[in-house]
Amino acid sequence: MAERLLFLTGHLARARLERVLADLGKTAFTYEIIDIGVKVAALMTEEIISRRLKSPVAADQIILPGRYRGDLDRLSERFGVRFIRGPDEVADLPAFLGRVGKPVDLSRHDTRIFAEIVDASALSMDALMQRAFGLSAAGADVIDLGCLPETPFPHLADAVRRLKAEGLSVSVDSANPEELEAGAAAGADYLLSLSEETIGLAFRYGTKPVLIPSNPGDLDSLGRAIDAAKAKNIPFIADPVLDPIHFGFAASLGRFLEARRRWPDVELMMGTGNLTELTDADSSGVTALLCGLCSELSIGNVLVVNVSPHTLRTVEEHDRARRVMFAARHDHALPRGYDAGLLQIHDRKPYPHTAADIDALAADVRDANFRIMTAPDGVHVFNGKSHQVSTDAFELFPGLNVENDGAHAFYLGAELTKAEIAWKLGKRYAQDEPLAWGVAAPDKQQDRTRLAEAGHTLRAKDGRTKKDVAP
């Protein structure tokens, strides 16, 4: 028997919802649409639904607008039917309905993130601890203490002990054997980066080494270090070393392929900083590509670094990328449609409405509240009296007639500018909602069981709320 779905909506969104569902053609489910009796679908409340939806309900699931704020469990208990939130935009329903009851699982991954504090030797203990806690909260599994050449690090051992006491895993990264030994003696979990000449440190202290070639690009020397570690029966990680673009990048990719061919069961690491730090490109895309390579080659460790301001969110980006790649690999699928966290500048579906959709919607509006929406032809702003469209927010202002209402003008100016930025970049815009920048600027956590409060710029002078709303 086909699953029965019931969609609750409002006056303004009903026609659009009907068209989207009709365009699905033959489906594995049957459906019914009920206009719950509010103009704006997102403004329906638990009380309105409880009062206006008649029992018993002939449905297996009831789908509410994504921006509905209320307690779904209470509604489910009251009506004896499961209530779920759909997508924020009606245009996203087709994709949503393909996975009803099967939310994307990004809880799993198989990649360990080493986050290097490059200037650890220059930081006070308190500053170092604060940095480490921030990296751990962002998704780092191991805090890597970077040691600078010819720069004393007198508090290295104390730093390792403090970090370990806080429950953090620690690695020490140095070309100085004395610093490596001090870190190992203090209880570091990993030593970076040892070669066939320095691997003896790992033997003495039992610390897990990350092995690199003795000479750049020399996989044979890496192989000898691997053989030495195997002979001593100690765990280890091998890093063939990724080089920057135009300084051996393509050849270094070949080394990772060859390393996996030679040592199919050896645990590998890739340091991504030579690409993310040394390439003037948004780091999220570079990170996605490199984590995809790690996923294909079963590289279970990445060393990340943030020195350049443009890689500020590199740990968050690697964390999201490892989860997306794991999910896609598990599904034998392309890494598309799992999560938008790495789509920071552009969106795959920036326009949930066509210009014709907006024209039809505007024709039904009778009140004075301004709605702001975007479509391929530009930014639309409309109410019951007017409908304007432009690609320049400043061109719209003269027709709004809010010159004598400062708070209202400020609100509309801010929203129209945001809409213009979204339109120019090809990003999704929703009135009264912040633009989504993925992990580059994490979303503010929202409690969708409660109605949002009106912003202070929208309050009328008499203290009542005056708010322009999106449909």
Q: What is the 3-state secondary structure (H, E, C) of 347-361?
A: CCCCCCCCHHHHHHH
Beta-carbon contacts of 141 under 8 Å, excluding residues fewer than 6 positions away, are 112, 113, 114, 169
pLDDT score of 446: 61
Q: Which amino acid type is present at position 466?
A: K
How long a stretch of residues is the chain? Answer: 471
Mean pLDDT of 152-175: 97
Torsion angle in degrees (nearest 10) through CA of 205, 210, 216, 219: 100
Distance, in Å, from the CA atom of 2 to the CA atom of 85, rounded to the nearest integer, reads: 20
- Residue 169 β-bridge partners: 142
Q: Is the pLDDT of residue 444 over 80?
A: no
Distance, in Å, from the CA atom of 237 to the CA atom of 258, rounded to the nearest integer, reads: 16
Beta-carbon contacts of 292 under 8 Å, excluding residues fewer than 6 positions away, are 321, 325, 335
Distance, in Å, from the CA atom of 349 to the CA atom of 44, rounded to the nearest integer, reads: 26
> Is residue 15 within a helix (H) or strand (E), and if so which, with residue range?
helix 11-22
Of 43, 68, 97, the position where a domain reaches its end is: 97
322 and 177 inside one domain: yes
| pLDDT band at residue 102 under the 50/70/90 scheme | low
Domain count, the chain: 3
pLDDT score of 105: 87
Establish if 470 belongs to a structural domain.
Answer: no
317 and 393 inside one domain: no
The DSSP string of 95-129 is HHHTTTT-----S----EEEEEETTGGGS-HHHHH
pLDDT score of 462: 46
Residue 25 burial by Cβ neighbours in a 10 Å radius (0-12, 13-18, 19+): exposed
Establish if 399 belongs to a structural domain.
Answer: yes
Distance, in Å, from the CA atom of 289 to the CA atom of 173, rounded to the nearest integer, reads: 25
Q: Where are the beta strands (DSSP E) in 25-141?
A: 29-35, 61-64, 82-85, 112-117
Establish if 349 belongs to a structural domain.
Answer: no
What DSSP designation does 92 have? Answer: G
Q: What is the mean pLDDT of the chain?
A: 91
Rg of the chain over Cα atoms, rounded to whole angstroms, equals 28
Task: Assign residue 284 the CATH number of its domain.
Answer: 3.20.20.20
Establish if 191 belongs to a structural domain.
Answer: yes
Q: Identify the domain containing residue 33 by its residue range.
A: 3-97
Establish if 105 belongs to a structural domain.
Answer: no
143 and 287 inside one domain: yes
Each residue's pLDDT tens digit, 371-423: 999 999 999 999 999 999 999 999 999 999 999 999 999 999 999 999 999 99
295 and 269 inside one domain: yes
Distance, in Å, from the CA atom of 318 to the CA atom of 324, rounded to the nearest integer, reads: 10
CA angle 454, 457, 462 (to 5 degrees): 85
Of 97, 121, 144, the position where a domain reaches its end is: 97
Check if the beta carbon of residue 301 is closer than 8 Å to that of residue 242: no
Distance, in Å, from the CA atom of 76 to the CA atom of 63, rounded to the nearest integer, reads: 11
183 and 44 inside one domain: no
| pLDDT band at residue 447 under the 50/70/90 scheme | low
pLDDT score of 334: 84
Establish if 340 belongs to a structural domain.
Answer: no
CA angle 293, 297, 303 (to 5 degrees): 65
Task: Assign residue 23 the CATH number of its domain.
Answer: 3.40.50
Residue 114 burial by Cβ neighbours in a 10 Å radius (0-12, 13-18, 19+): buried
Establish if 209 belongs to a structural domain.
Answer: yes
392 and 319 inside one domain: no
Whether the link from the prior residue into 56 is cis, omega within 30° of 0, is yes
Share of the chain above pLDDT 90, in %: 80
Q: What is the pTM of this model?
A: 0.81
pLDDT score of 374: 97
What DSSP designation does 280 have? Answer: S
Share of the chain above pLDDT 70, in %: 93
281 and 416 inside one domain: no
Check if the beta carbon of residue 246 is closer than 8 Å to that of residue 252: no
As given in the structure block, the two tokens for residue 115 are 């986050």
Distance, in Å, from the CA atom of 69 to the CA atom of 452, rounded to the nearest integer, reads: 8
Mean pLDDT of 262-272: 98
CA angle 153, 134, 241 (to 5 degrees): 65
pLDDT score of 467: 46
Of 97, 126, 157, the position where a domain reaches its end is: 97
Distance, in Å, from the CA atom of 113 to the CA atom of 91, rounded to the nearest integer, reads: 36
Check if the beta carbon of residue 171 is closer than 8 Å to that of residue 140: no
Check if the beta carbon of residue 349 is closer than 8 Å to that of residue 428: yes
88 and 117 inside one domain: no
25 and 157 inside one domain: no
Q: Which amino acid type is present at position 65?
A: P
Q: Is the pLDDT of residue 459 over 50?
A: no
Each residue's pLDDT tens digit, 30-82: 999 999 999 888 889 999 999 999 999 999 999 999 989 899 999 999 999 99
Establish if 335 belongs to a structural domain.
Answer: no
427 and 287 inside one domain: no
Which residue matches tokens 């500048």?
A: 345
81 and 116 inside one domain: no
Q: Is the pLDDT of residue 10 over 50?
A: yes
Q: Is the pLDDT of residue 338 over 90?
A: no
- SS percent in the chain: helix, strand, coil, step 5: 40, 15, 45
124 and 84 inside one domain: no
